[in-house]
Amino acid sequence: MPRLPLVLALGLMLAGCQEPEAPPAVSQADANAARRAFDYPAAKMVDQYDDHFEQRIFDPYRWMEDLDSPELARWVAGQNALLQDYLADVPGRERIKARLTELWNYERYGVPQVRGGRYFYTRNDGLQNQAPVYWQAALDGEPKLLLDPNTLSGDGTVSLADWQASDDGMRLAYALSDGGSDWRTIKVRDVDSGEDLGDEIRWAKFTSIAWLRDGSGFYYSRYDAPQGENELKAVNKFQKLFFHRIGTSQDQDVLVYERADQPDWGFQAEVSDDGQYLVVSVSKGTDERNLLFVKDLRQPDAAVREVVSDFTAAYDFIGAADGKLYVRTDDGAERYRIVAIDPTKPAKTDWREVVPEAAATLVSANVVGGQIVANRLRDAASEVSAYDLKGKRLRTIDMPGIGTATGFGGSATATESFFAFASFTAPGSILRYEPKSGRVSAFREPKVPFDRGAFETRQVFYPSKDGTKIPMFITARRGVALDGNNPTLLYGYGGFNIPVTPAFSANTIAWLEMGGVYASANLRGGGEYGRAWHEAGMKTRKQNVFDDFAAAAEYLIAQQWTQPKRLAISGRSNGGLLVGATMLQRPELFGAALPAVGVLDMLRFREFTIGWAWESDYGTVKDPTEFKALLAYSPLHNIRPNVEYPATLVTTADRDDRVFPAHSFKFAAALQAAYKGDRPMMIRVETRAGHGAGKPTAKIIEERADEYAFLVKTLGIEMPPAAAP
């Protein structure tokens, strides 16, 4: 292949393998001129190039990858100040924040764990930055505060990332995240006294906490401590599985399993209900396909041995009974089935199919109370059924409506299980399921201060570019006029086999009350319809996802829900990539774009923290065909001058070690340099926050208030009159 000239110096877009007809590269002088429209803080351009398959790729903002740079700190501070100045005159801005605060001020509960006859759950009383853990001795017992993470930092930025009670209900192992980082510090608390023991584990990440049944210790996974590089940037490789015995120091922890020859393998451990087996799921990055290993815990010196030894399908351990491992898998079933495996005879010819594949996608299952609870998605809404352990269908478990159910945990001998149910307009209720009778009853039902009956959700199906039918939920005020004038927020994700299902958000209710329409599209790449749906949005087929999203916008416009100047798109993480790519490819469809914590530099995502793991979905720059596909849509590398892009507010956080914040820094700087129009191209950088999990309630409200104020100004939204006192 002949060497091409520099192909993406902010202005050029590579089309196939040919040099495109496009304006010349953006120079520093061009960038300075563009900056004057909004007086954007200066971002220098450095002489940095990378070579990929005889193509020179310009990366002028590489210096922004240094999180410790004083120059970067000044740029971030300047960008945040510019945004606040831009939003200062938005009418109703304080009213938006006040209403968000009112809507967030409701009790929110987590799904309970039942251990040793005790009930453990989280409860946020409304505006607490973090949800404390409570326990009670009986179903109708008095709640007792066990752990309040709000006391661990003055600003609420130390969060509870995970927690697991021991089987006897006497101890709680809990993992803390500092400022939103994926790094975890694990501690142990005595339940009766409420005091911490001396145990502390550091450098845990992407880990489960799996207690031995006698409560003497637990299994966890961690990496070696980062050396020579910022811990929020360092690449994570060579995860190891350890056992920690209560009352000992971390340096005494026993290494259970590692693979020095497999730097990309990760380990998630679980102990079977009968205490017989340690079951280890072995993954490679975010690839759904995995291995299953077991260790016989009845034999202290037993080796970890293979049950499933090929990365050919997904194998999700859902419970054990009568010496069999029950596994949810797409091996031989695109939309998943359940099989029983005897770990002493693991050959596939000896597997027994228990619950066959069905038309609806089996997204999760649990062995609980002597039966299997199977949670399926039918057109992106939950449908839950119970089976006995031989596969006989017992019942459909009643749901309160069309929405999303999650939970159904518990032991194989449990007499009760709990789950959460929510929809776009129904906050997450916690419900109790009794396996023997099938009875469903309420455990906790939150009350949110809004008129639920004022809004309705409908599901539509629209054609994508290639004719594929795509589902979409649309929520709006009842009787909304389809006159093409409604401010509309379109959300999507489309990746990693993750389904987007109905979910409640106080933020969405605030938007609906502002007169907005909220649309959520179920794009290819997600997990709504099984393996083929996921794979249709992977690697060289990723363009399908952007086409699906653009087609959603076209549908909303054609059906008179809205018009381009009143339509905004939103997405987070992989959804931030979705927004970035689609706004650049189809700018005429949108009035505003909100790419949040997005993967925006598709040529360098593998260079930071856990980014290499996403190659299973995105592909790799090391392969010429996949490189070509990545470059064709990479948001950072497809910004063109003299294009009227939608008003854009990029959001990220300074401690995001999932999607490294330099993705957003570089993208915002490139947009500001290239765009010559009068629409704002801005960035908001949260401090002491990460990718999103554990973000304090106050910060969530502030961020969303800024986003909505940005949409009010850029979409020309007239705020409804304030309610009478």
- Are the beta carbons of 308 and 329 closer than 8 angstroms? no
Distance, in Å, from the CA atom of 169 to the CA atom of 115, rounded to the nearest integer, reads 5
Check residue 345 and report its DSSP letter: B
- Residue bearing tokens 């490294």: 660
Question: Which distant-in-sequence residues (6+ apart) come within 8 Å of 216 by Cβ?
Answer: 245, 246
Q: What are phi and psi of 404, to 5 degrees?
A: -125, 125
Concatenating the DSSP letter of every residue in 100-114 gives HHHHH-S-EEPPPEE
What are the DSSP calls for 360-419, one per residue?
SEEEEEEEETTEEEEEEEETTEEEEEEEETT--EEEEPP-SSSSEEEE----TT-S-EEE
| CA–CA separation, 57 and 647 (whole Å) | 27
The C-alpha atoms of residue 84 and residue 197 are separated, in whole angstroms, by: 45
Task: Write down the H helix ranges in 38-110.
Answer: 70-87, 93-104
Edge-to-edge strand order for the sheet containing 277-284?
265-271, 277-284, 290-296, 305-308
SS3 content of the chain, % helix, strand, coil (to 5): 20, 30, 45
Q: How far apart are CA 116 and CA 164, in angstroms?
A: 13
Helix residue ranges per DSSP H, 536-593: 543-558, 574-585
Q: Is 437 exposed, middle or buried (0-12, 13-18, 19+ CB in 10 A)?
A: exposed
- The CA R_g of the chain, rounded to the nearest whole Å, is 26
Active-site residue identified among 244, 637, 663, 691: 691
Distance CA 553, CA 569 (A): 9
Backbone dihedral angles phi then psi of residue 449, each to the nearest 5 degrees = -75, 70
Query: pLDDT at position 116, please?
Result: 96
Tokens linked to 187:
């501690």
Is 663 a catalytic site residue? no
Output the six-digit token pair for 702. 């502030």
Counting as low any pLDDT under 70, the low residues of the chain are 1-36, 722-725
Q: Residue 10 — φ and ψ, nearest 5°? A: 70, -25
Q: Do 481 and 503 meet the contact criterion of CB atoms below 8 Å apart?
A: no
Question: Which candidate, 220, 211, 124, places its Cα nearest to that of 172?
Answer: 211
Q: What is the DSSP letter of 641?
A: T
Q: Which two tokens stand for residue 207?
A: 């880990």
CA distance 588 to 576: 19
Half-sphere exposure of residue 270: CA atoms within 13 angstroms, side-chain side: 16
Q: Which residue type sits at 284?
A: K
- Smallest CA-to-CA distance from 643 within 590, 606, 687 is with 590
185 forms beta bridges with 176
Q: Which two tokens stand for residue 600?
A: 């925006």
Q: Residue 483: how many CB atoms within 10 A of its CB?
A: 10
For residue 662 the two structure tokens come to 């330099």
Give the active site residue among 573, 616, 634, 664. Answer: 573
Contact partners, residue 529, CB within 8 Å, separation at least 6: 335, 361
Cβ neighbours of residue 664 under 8 Å, at least 6 residues apart? Answer: 576, 595, 597, 598, 600, 650, 651, 652, 683, 685
For residue 317, count other CB atoms closer than 10 A to its CB: 23
Nearest CA to 633 out of 5, 14, 20 is that of 14
**Terminal CA-CA length for the chain:** 71
Q: Any idea what DSSP says for residue 540?
A: G
Residue 109 near residue 428 (C-beta atoms within 8 A):
yes
Bridge partners of residue 368, in order along the sequence: 371
- Decide: 220 and 161 in contact? Cβ < 8 Å: no
H or E segment at 457? strand 455-463
Q: How many CA atoms lie within 13 A of 89 on its CB side?
A: 3
Helix runs in 613-678, H state only: 615-618, 624-633, 662-674
Q: Residue 348 has what DSSP assignment?
A: G
Q: At what angle do helices 543-558 and 624-633 cross, to 10 degrees?
A: 30
Q: Is the dihedral of CA 33, 24, 676, 595 positive or negative?
A: negative
Specify the pLDDT at position 158: 96
Q: Are strands 488-491 and 567-572 parallel, antiparallel or unpaired?
A: parallel
Report which secondary-structure segment, H or E, holds 668. Answer: helix 662-674
Q: What is the pTM of this model?
A: 0.94
pLDDT of residue 300: 83
Retrieve residue 327's tokens. Answer: 């596994």
Amino acid at the residue 551 = A
Spatial CA neighbour of 714 closest among 678, 668, 664: 678
**Residue 3 phi/psi, 5° resolution?**
-70, 130
Residue 27 annotated in active site: no
The residues facing 433 across adjacent strands are: 417, 440
265, 269, 272, 278: CA torsion to nearest 10:
70
- The Cα 507–Cα 93 span in angstroms is 14
| Token pair belonging to 387 | 């089976």
- Tokens at 339, concatenated: 């099989």
Encoded tokens for 116: 């040793």
**DSSP symbol at 563:** -
How far is C-alpha 143 from the geometric centre of its chain's CA atoms? 31
